[in-house]
Structure 1
C-alpha cells in the first residue's frame, strides 16, 4: 500500500506543479501584453500572483522529487533525481525534468537577486521560464504513466496552445517577427504532434524510453555492486502479497505485484496488457524482479505468461549466474489489492 500512496503523490504533485508553471507562464505573457484592469486586476497584484505561482510550483516540484525518491518500488537513488542522465528509469526524459527543475530554481533565485544583478540580467534569466515550461511538457509526456489517456493529452495540450497563442500576440507587437514567429509555432506544433504520436502513444514506448532495457516498469534498474556470494534461490514457497491495477492508456492496463517473503526475499512482477472483449488481459509485456536478502545483487528479466502462471529468466544486473523464476497464482484480486500463490527461483 505504501508503494501505491507514494506513487500517487508523485503523479499528483507532478501534475499540480506543471499546472502552476503553465498558469504562471501564461500570466507572464498576459502581463507583457498589458492585459490587466486597473480596477479588477491591477498590475501589481498580477505581478505578485505570477511570482507566487512560480514559488508554489517549486514547492510541488520538491514534493514530486522527494516522493519519487521515497517510492519503494522505483528505488531511485538521491543523485538520480539531481543529476541529469543518472536515472535508471527513462534517463533522457527524466533528465529533461531535472533540468527544468534546476532552471526553475535559477529563475526563482534571479527574482530574489534582482536588486543585485540588475534588470537586464533578471530579464534574461526570467526568459528561461519558457524553456522550463517546454522541458516540463516533454518530461511529462515522456515519463508520465498517464500520457496515453485523453485527459492527460488535453491537460498538456491546452497550456501549450495558450502559450503559443499568447506568444503570437506578443510577437505581433514586434515589427518583422510575426511571420517568422508564426512559422516557428506551426513548425513546433507539427514536430510536437509527430513526436507524441510516434513516441509516447506507441505501445512499445516504455521500452524505447527506457533505452530498450526492460519495459520501463517501476523497478530499479540501476547498476548495483558485484555479487559477493551466489544466492541459493527460493525453493517452492507460498507467497501472499499486494497488487495494484492502473490504466496506462486506452484499453491498456498495468498490474504491479510485489511481496516480501519471511526469508527476506523480495519479488515483484509488472504485467502490461490490453483488455479484450471478454474482460481478460492480453499480456503485451512485463518484468520480474528478485532481490535476495543480505545481498547487494538484484535480478530481473522479461516475463512469459503461461497456463501455470508467470515465468522468467532472471539475469543479474551486475553479471553472474542467471535464475529461473516461476510464480504460480492461486488468487489474484486487484480490487482487494491482494494476490496469493507459490514462487520458486532456481539457478540455471
Structure 2
C-alpha cells in the first residue's frame, strides 16, 4: 500500500479500516462512534465490528460505517468471525485488550497492520472476593494477555502516559500517547439549567441553603470499595461545617442498601440518588464536583465538571493530572483526611472556587477536539499504509 488515506489516489479504492469494539466502557464506545464518523467523512471505507448491544447503544451504523454484529460463544468462534470480517481489511484497529487479543489471533500469518488502543488499565473482574491463588492465576493471565497484545500490535495507542510506559514494559515495539476526545454531554434541553430550574433541582435534592457536592460511584462489591469508604469517612468530618454540605452520589448497585444503612446510622450528610441519566445536569448546579477513582484516563465526570466551570476535587491517579492540569485540586487516593481538607478549604474560599472554575473552562478549551483526534489516528494509518 502507498499514498495517503485521507485523499485516495485517482482510481484507487478507499482504504478499508475495520474498527473492533468489545465490551469496553461508554467512553470507548463513544470514541469509536466519533472515530468511525470522522474516518467516513474523510473518504475511508469503515467497518465496525462489535456486539449487537453496541449498535443499540451507540448507533454505530448511523456514522456511515458498515456495522457487523459479532455474537460468539467461545474465543475460537470470535476469532473465526473476526477473521472473516477482516479478510479484505487494509488495517485493523482494536479498542481494548480483549478484542486486541482476538484481532491478533485472527490476523496471524497475515501482514495486515494492527493498531490497538489501550483505553484503560486492565482491572480484575468484579465480584465477590476470590481465593488468593485464583487471583494470582488471573493476574498472570492478564499480564500474559497484555504482553501478547503489546508485542503483536503494529502500534499501541494509549490514552495516558502511564499506559504508554506499561505497553513499552510489556514489549510494545511502538507505543504512543493518543489523547482521546469525548464529545461534551448535553442536558435534556441541550443548554445549562436556567436559574429557576437550578433552584427547583437544588430544592428537590435538599440543597437550597447549603453547598452541594456531586459525585458518581458504582455501589458494587469489588469495584472500588476504598473510594466509597473514603467518601463516607470524609463526609463524617463535614458534619461539623456550617452550613453543612450535602454530598449526592449518583450510582447504583447491590451495596446500596448497606451504604444507605451506614448513612442513616452515622447521620452523614449524604444522599444516594441511584442510577441517574442527568449527571451532567447535576454537575451544572453543583458547588463542587468530586472524582474519587483508583485509576482513570479521560474521566467523563472530570471533563464535564471543567467544561461546566465547576471546581473539581479529584484523586491524583492515572491520567487525571494530564487531563486537568492545575485546574483542579488533586489528593492522594484513599486518603479521607486529604479529601476532607481539600473540600473544606474550597468551601471556605469563594475566590479560589471562582479561579478554579475559570481555569477549568480554559483547560477544557485546550483539550483535543474530535477532529484533531481523528487526524492523529489518520496520521498513524498513513504511516502504516506507506510502510506496506
TM-score by length of 1: 0.28
Q: Which has the higher contact order (CA 8 A, sep 6+)?
A: 2
TM-score by length of 2: 0.26
Q: Which has the higher strand share?
A: 1
Structure possessing the higher radius of gyration over alpha carbons: 1
